[in-house]
A and B are shown apart, each in its own frame.
Chain A
C-alpha cells in the first residue's frame, strides 16, 4: 500500500525505549535474576595453541557451593560457529570430531564452573587442573599462509579460509594506458566494539520445558540454531529472548555465553546466570580484522583510473567467525566507489592463533576504503588534480559495472553525496567540473597545522554473495469497525539504534493508524519468526519490507471482515550470487548506501595529537524514516570511526591482548569528540527500499579514517598509512620528515 502523504514515517518520533533507558528502569541481561539461580564462570584457555590432554575438575567440585563443572565431555555436539562450525564449545579430550581437543586462541573455553554464588564460582576456577601439550603457534597471517607454517584446522591448507579473486579487464592494457601509477601498503589493527553492556545472560527451563536463554545478541533465531545444534535438541526445545541490548556493532553476532549457559540450565534444570567483567568482554569476543593491503593504481593524464591491483590479507584469528564474509566484502570494497576497467585483486582470510576477528560496523569496508581512498588521493595529487574533481571523474554512475563485472542496482548516488559534502566543506565548482579545494585557517600557534580531507564510499545493505536473505513479519489488526490496535511481530534486535521505534512507525504507516495504536512483540523465538540479524545496515530495510508486506495482507483480511485480521509476510530481496572462484564475477548485493565525509583537523606537530575541528557527513539514506535517529547514527558512527582512526590501539602480544581495560584501551570521550559534526541527510529513494529507505548505520563510519589521513597529509605533507594514527606514531612520522623536531 503506497501513500503519498506520510503520516508517521519521516518524523522524529520519540524512541519507545528512551525513558526506561534514561531512568535506568530498563532491564539488560545482567539485571535479570531468577529465584534459585546459580552462577557460572568460564575457564578460558591458558595457551594460544595447545592440545588439551586432560581437564581435572575434582578439586573444584570438592569445594562447598560448587554445583557442577562442565567440560568438552559434556557437550553433545561440540562445535559451533556463525558461518562455519569450526570452534569447539569447549576444548578438551573425548570428542569424535578431530581437533576439538585443541585450543587455538586464548579465548577458547576449557571448562565452566556452576556454583551457588559468583564468588564461589570464581574461586573454583583456578582449581581446575588443565594439562596441555604445547603446539607451535602462528601469529603472523602472512607466515601462516606458508606451507611450512603450523596448520591450525583440518582441511584448511595453508590456513587460508577463503581466497577471492577479481579478474576484470586486461591489466597489461591498463598499465600501458596509465601515465601515473601510485603504490602503497596500508595496515590496520584490531578494534574493540566497546559496547556499554558487557556480555551477560540467564538460562532457565521455561513453563513449556524449553531451554530458554535471555541474552543480548543480534539475531535471536541464529543464536537459537547454534544452541540447539550443540545441545542436539529439537529446534522447538530451545528459546532465545533478547531484553534490552547495550550496544552490539557486530560484536554480538557470534556466540559468547549462550551455549554454555543453555548447557548448564539444561543439565541442572535450574536457572544459571553469568555476567562478564569489562576485562572479560574485551578478552573474549572477536574484534575488527587487522588487514594489510598492498595497492597499486594507475590513471591517465586526463584523470581516469584505468588499472587497480591489490592484495588483501586479513587475520581471522583462531576461528572463522564471519571472516570469510568480511574479507569477501573487503575484496569488493578495496577498489572503492570507482568504475575501473581493469582490476586484479587477491584477498585472503587466514587463520592464526590470535584472537578471532569478525563483524564490526563496516564489515571490512573501513579497511578497504582506507586503501582505496588513499590511492585516489595519491593519484589526484600525482596528476595535480583537485581531489574532488578527480573523484567526480571516476565514481560510479547509474549502470556502472562493479569489479565483479555486473552493474550496480539502480539508485547510484555516490556523485550526489560527494557533491553535497564537498560543497558544505567549502569546495567550489569553477565553471564546469573544475573543483577548488578550501584552504584551512592557519592557526596562530606555530606548533599547530590544519588540513582538510575528503573521502567517500559505499556499502551493501543486506546479506551478500548468494546468502539466502529474508525477514519475517506478522501483523495482527484488532477492533470491530475500526482498527483499534495493531500488533506487529518482528524479531529484529534493538541494539540501541532505535530499530524498534522505526518498526512501529513503519507498521503504523503501512496500516494507516497513529503510532500509539501499534504494539510491538519482538526478539523472542517463541513469539516471532526470524528477522535475520541486526547487521549489514539491513534491519530497517528488511524489516520494513516485511512489515509492509504483512500489513498489506492484514488489511486485505480486515476488508474481508476477519477479526483479528492477520497478515504474515516473508520479504525476500532480489537474489545475489557468490564470487566466481577464478574471476570474481558475481551479483554481489541487492542494494547499497552511499556516503561522503570531509574533515578538518588540527595537528599538533610537536605532540602528534590530532584534533578533529569539524566533520561533515553526507549520507544518502533514501528516506529518513526517523531523522533524529538517522542523525544519531551518523554522529555515533563518526565518533566510533574517530576512535578507530586516532586512538583505539588494542595490543596483541603472541595472541594475548595486553590492554583489556578502558583505562588502557582508549576510546573517545566527550572531551575528544569533534567540535562539530554536520549531518547532511540526502533522500534519493532506493527503488526497492521500504518507502525508499536505504540502510545507513554503517556508512558514516566508512570514509572517516581516509578523510582524516588526507587531512593530516594536507596539514603536514605526511601520509599516515598505519592505523591508528596515535600521537606517538604521528610524531615519529612527522619527525622522519623533519617536522616538529626538537
Chain B
C-alpha cells in the first residue's frame, strides 16, 4: 500500500524544525519513519508535509553526567549498545535491545517512539518505571514533562502542537536492580505485555520497588499494588505471587487491550507472569 501524496522538507536544526512546524499546522515531524510511514501507508495517518529532523546532529547525543540524557534522535540500537545506558539504566538498554528487529532498531528513534505513544511500545514502560523526564521545545520555549504525565492515552501524549521532543532524561539507576521482560507479538515483536522493574535492594531485601507495565492497557502505567507487594520482602515466591496478583488487579478493565490473538484476559494473566520474570531477571 502507498501513502497519500505529501511534501517533504529537511530541517537542519531544532529551531528550524520548530519554525517549520509553526508555519505548517498539519505538518508532521519525521524521525526514523518506522511508526509514521507504516501508519501513512495504511492511511491511518496523513500529513501534507513531512519535516525530516533525522539529520539534526544536536539531537543524537547520549550523555551521562549525574543523569542520563538521551537525544531524541538516538536510535534503539545506539541506546541498547551504549555503555552509559547499560550502567545508568540497564532496563532501558534491555528494552531498546528488544524492539522489533535489527532494521527497526537501526532506524527507530527514542524520541519518535515516545512521541508516537503506541501502547505496545517497549521504551515507555521503562521510562515510566524509572521516573524519566521528557524534554520538549516549542516556539513558546522549553519545558520538561514527567514520563508518568506524558502518556495520556492510545497514541496521545502531553506534547502540544508545534512542540518537538529534544531529549529524554533518566535518573541514575546504577545502584538499583532494573530489568525489563516482555512477551512479544510473534509477527511484529511489539510488546503484548512488557514489565519494567527498578528495585532498591538492601542485601536480599527489597527496600522499595518501582514497577510499570505496558502493552496490557492503553498506556504504560505504574502498578502501585505490585510496588507495595514487593517492598520490604525478600522477593520470595510468596511476595512475587502477591505482586503478580496485585499488578493484575491494578489494570483498569476498561482500558485493557484486546485483540484476536491476545485477548484481554490473557494479557491480564501475562502481566503477572512477566512481572515475576522481570523481578527474577533484575535480581538474576
By a beta-carbon cutoff of 8 Å, the part of chain A in contact with chain B is 606-607, 647, 649, 651, 658-659, 662-664, 666, 669, 671-672, 726-728, 731, 742
Contacts and interface: CB of A to CB of B under 8 A. Distances in A.
6 contacts: A658-B260, A663-B187, A726-B261, A728-B262, A728-B263, A742-B269
Contact of A647 (B183, B186, B259): B186
Contacts of A728: 261-263, 266
Given A663-B188, A664-B261, A742-B272, A731 B266 contact: yes
Contacts of A664: 187, 259-261
Interface in B244-277: 244-245, 259-263, 266, 269-270, 272-273, 276
Interface in B22-36: none
Nearest to B101: A671
Contacts of B188: 663
Contacts of B266: 727-728, 731
Contacts of B245: 742
B117 to A, nearest CB: 20
B186 A666 contact: yes
B106 interface: no
A669 B186 contact: yes
A672 B185 CA distance: 12
Given A649-B260, A659-B261, A742-B244, 16 more contacts: A606-B273, A651-B260, A662-B187, A664-B187, A664-B259, A666-B187, A666-B261, A669-B187, A672-B186, A726-B261, A727-B266, A728-B261, A728-B262, A742-B269, A742-B273, A742-B276
B183 A607 contact: yes
Contact of A659 (B186, B241, B260, B270): B260
Contacts of B260: 649, 651, 658-659, 664
Nearest to A658: B260
A727 B261 CA distance: 9
Residue with the greatest number of chain B CB neighbours at <10 A, chosen from A607, A658, A669: A607
A664 to B, nearest CB: 6
Contacts of B263: 728
Residue with the greatest number of chain B CB neighbours at <10 A, chosen from A607, A666, A742: A742
Nearest to A671: B186
A275 to B, nearest CB: 13
Contacts of B183: 607
Interface residues of B, number: 18
Contacts of A651: 260
Interface string B223-257: 00000000000000000010011000000000000
Nearest to A651: B260
Contacts of A606: 273, 276
Contacts, number: 41
Contacts of A669: 186-187
A732 to B, nearest CB: 8
A259 B245 CA distance: 59
Contacts of A671: 186
A591 to B, nearest CB: 38
A662 B261 CA distance: 12
Nearest to B193: A607
Contact of B261 (A607, A649, A672): A649
A390 to B, nearest CB: 35
Residue with the greatest number of chain B CB neighbours at <10 A, chosen from A647, A658, A728: A728
A649 B183 CA distance: 19
Contacts of B244: 742
Interface in B178-197: 183, 186-188
A13 B78 CA distance: 46
Nearest to A605: B273
A672 B187 CA distance: 10
Contacts of B269: 731, 742
A81 to B, nearest CB: 31
Contacts of A659: 260-261
Nearest to B184: A671
A88 to B, nearest CB: 31
Contacts of A658: 260
A730 to B, nearest CB: 11
A726 B261 CA distance: 9
Please provide the 5 A-B residue pairs with the shortest distance between their CB atoms, ordered closest to farther: A606-B273, A728-B266, A742-B244, A742-B272, A663-B187
A726 B192 CA distance: 14
A606 B260 CA distance: 20
A35 B187 CA distance: 39
Nearest to B263: A728
A667 to B, nearest CB: 9
Contacts of A607: 183, 270, 273
A662 B260 CA distance: 13
B240 to A, nearest CB: 8
B197 to A, nearest CB: 16
A663 B273 CA distance: 24
Nearest to A729: B266
A198 to B, nearest CB: 13
Interface in B45-98: none
B241 A742 contact: yes
A669 B185 CA distance: 12
A671 B185 CA distance: 12
Nearest to B275: A742
Contacts of A649: 260-261
A664 B269 CA distance: 21
A731 B266 CA distance: 8
Interface in B94-117: none
Contacts of B273: 606-607, 742
Residue with the greatest number of chain A CB neighbours at <10 A, chosen from B244, B266, B272: B266
A664 B270 CA distance: 19
Interface in B143-199: 183, 186-188
B246 to A, nearest CB: 11
Contacts of B276: 606, 742
Contacts of B186: 647, 666, 669, 671-672
Nearest to B273: A606
A138 B186 CA distance: 33
A417 to B, nearest CB: 32
A576 B260 CA distance: 44
A666 B244 CA distance: 28
A731 B259 CA distance: 17
A719 to B, nearest CB: 20
B100 to A, nearest CB: 12
Contacts of B262: 728
Nearest to B270: A607
Nearest to A662: B187
A607 B188 CA distance: 18
B210 to A, nearest CB: 21
A664 B262 CA distance: 10
Nearest to A609: B183
Nearest to A664: B260
B236 to A, nearest CB: 14
A742 B242 CA distance: 9
A668 B261 CA distance: 14
A662 B187 CA distance: 8
Contacts of B272: 742
A651 B262 CA distance: 13
A649 B260 CA distance: 9
A668 to B, nearest CB: 8
Nearest to A646: B186
Contacts of B261: 649, 659, 664, 666, 726, 728
B278 to A, nearest CB: 13
A411 to B, nearest CB: 41
A713 B202 CA distance: 43
Nearest to B265: A728
